A and B are shown apart, each in its own frame.
Chain A
Amino acid sequence: MTLKARVIPCLDVKDGRVVKGVSFVNLVDAGDPVESAKAYDAAGADELCFLDITASSDNRDTIFDVVARTAEHCFMPLTVGGGVRSVADIRKLLLAGADKVSINSAAVKDPDFVAEAADKFGNQCIVVSIDSKKVSGEGEADRWEIFTHGGRQATGIDAVAFAEKMVERGAGELLLTSMDRDGQKGGYDIALTRTIADRVPVPVIASGGVGNLDHLVEGIRDGHATAVLAASIFHFGTYTVGEAKRYMAEHGIAMRLD
């Protein structure tokens, strides 16, 4: 009938274990990613996202094992990001069982890498993950800037222009995270989401700041995203994925409830 909005739980994974940061600090170890993935699969999640935040290069291979074990148990679409820097990284993730990969810092450093990856694996498989903060002051026109290194490093790059450039290079989807909203539970940065979603022809996933189910509704209805990503509200059991989807459906958004 119509394409449904997607609810995507995101698991931050470090050294093969799940963590969730509040604004990317104060990490709390909270379990086995494969167990969480199975629970989300059973709960009707429309996709699952793993973000690998493993810092040490010694442990970089742990994510491949997590992805492979997840793919054995879950028949749901899986996007994996974090530390994706080369065509070889992407191939390994896809072979392990990922359906899409998200590219973050490497896209900022070298936009041509996105073009190379899209050429090799198809646009539909390449998600560009854009972390930005609002940098405009009170009374100024909205402006957002790209930040890297978990939000610590400013780049001076305009987020909206960057989003358009990434789509030109072949990004099939954009994952927009508001770094100033992330972990604050005050809702997505709707102006950011809508500005970019209305500007690009590819699907946009809203991310960063979900505290309640109305925020998910707003992300789709007001932000014009086609998917909403959330971590802590699901991971700490504040709401189930099923509750979230039913709530969104009750608020007029076409959802998959089978």
Chain B
Amino acid sequence: MRVAIIDYGSGNLRSATKAFERAAREAGISAEIDLTDRPERVATADRVVLPGVGAYADCRRGLDAVEGMTDALREAVELGGRPFLGICVGMQLMSSRGLEKTVTDGLNWIAGDVTLMTPADPDLKIPQIGWNTLTLKREHPLFSGIPTGDGGLHAYFVHSYHLQAENPDDVVATVEYGGPMTAFVARGNKAGAQFHPEKSQSLGLALITNFLRWKP
């Protein structure tokens, strides 16, 4: 199995690559983790990961700047039905639109806009930086065996914006930050984490392992 992690100049690519390698190794899964900026490698990958750090518009621009990359993504994920995981802004790009700084079109896989979080408690800081627990809204194979809820494992967040999904079924998990904010979305073979699995220690490694085994 070959897992393509898309290199489009955004994101903590080394951390993501190393985390996927470690998860595969510890679970005894034979997987080549292929950090690549070549569309043909993405189009033919068995699984695709889109990381992303920074502003929505910058990330979209970066992705579009790699000629053929969005087409390759659509080929692998929309036509090929291969499992996809977006991370942080990579997850946000699954939305219809991002409203950070300017209005930017997303990949339109999860209907909804990415908007600035407005916590009900004015003392809460933006960005949300740090560890928080998750509230599971529905069962999903990527959360198999992962304790969630108040006494559950923590995920590491660094974000000011979140994806407000139009269809509540698309939201798999929320995070409480002065109200429920979107933490994890999924539809069909496409999943996305607002938090950083590659930085979230035991929760993150378990989720990555589940992704490597996922048969949507």
**Contact A72 B18, beta carbon cutoff 8 Å:** yes
Q: A76-B199, A77-B156, A99-B12 are in contact. Are A6 and B131 (CB under 8 A)?
A: yes
B132-163 near A? 1/0 per residue, CB < 8 Å: 11000000000000000110111011111000
Name the A residues within 8 Å of B200 (CB-CB): 75
Q: Which residues of B contact A72 (CB under 8 A)?
A: 14, 18
* B154 with A201: CB separation less than 8 A: no
Which of A71, A172, A227, A256 is B15 in contact with, Cβ under 8 Å? Answer: A71
State the Cβ distance, A123 to closest chain B Cβ, in Å.
7
**Chain B interface main SS type:** mixed
Residues of A contacting B74 with CB < 8 Å? none
**B160 contacts A76, CB within 8 Å?**
no
Q: Is A4's CB under 8 angstroms from B54's CB?
A: no
Residue A95 interfacial (CB < 8 Å) = yes
Min CB–CB distance A211 → chain B (angstroms):
24
Q: Answer yes or no: A239 CB below 8 A from chain B CBs.
A: no
Tier of interface size on chain B? 35 or more
User: Looking at the complex, which of A10-18, A114-122, A186-194 is the stretch in contact with chain B?
Assistant: A114-122
User: Is the beta-carbon distance between B15 and A202 smaller than 8 angstroms?
Assistant: no
In the complex the two chains form, is B177's CB within 8 Å of A122's CB?
no
Per-residue interface assignment for chain A, residues 1 to 33, with 1 indicating a CB less than 8 Å from any chain B CB and 0 otherwise: 111111000000000000000000000000000
Nearest A residue to B121, CB-CB:
A2
Measured CA separation A72–B129 after assembly (Å): 22
Can you name the residue of chain A whose Cβ is closest to the Cβ of B155? Answer: A256
For the complex, what is the distance from the CA of A97 to the CA of B126, rounded to whole Å?
Answer: 23
Query: How close is B210's CB to chain A, nearest CB, in angstroms?
Result: 16
In the assembly, what is the distance between CA of A200 and CA of B105, in Å?
A: 31
A1-B133, A76-B201, A172-B127 known, 20 other contacts, Cβ within 8 Å: A1-B176, A2-B176, A5-B130, A6-B130, A41-B201, A46-B131, A71-B15, A71-B18, A75-B15, A75-B200, A75-B201, A99-B12, A120-B58, A125-B53, A172-B158, A173-B129, A203-B125, A226-B129, A227-B129, A256-B154
A-B pairs with the 5 shortest C-beta distances? A122-B54, A256-B131, A97-B14, A1-B150, A203-B125
